Structure 1
């Protein structure tokens, strides 16, 4: 049961990372197209905050 729990946690973490990265990619590409370099830092910070939820 222990390995199943670990696998479930890993799968959940991977799913969160994937969702965070998809949102990040859309936002980053939109900012890049708009040449809004000022938004990059906030977009990266948002991605890091999103990904940190997976570690809880």
Structure 2
């Protein structure tokens, strides 16, 4: 028993409603970067993570 077209469409619609159209590309970019880092780590190509950005503006 697998997922058919109606189920996949329903799942995609639910994800779109939950996260919105602007957040989904950011999530996919993060997912792709995570998969690339995972594969690189499996192959022994570990790179140092980029330093965290420095925040200079404080909102009150």
TM range (shorter): 0.3 to 0.5
Q: Calculate the TM-score normalised by the size of structure 1.
A: 0.46
Q: Normalising by the residue count of structure 2, what TM-score does the alignment of the two structures yield?
A: 0.44
Q: Which has the higher contact order (CA 8 A, sep 6+)?
A: 1
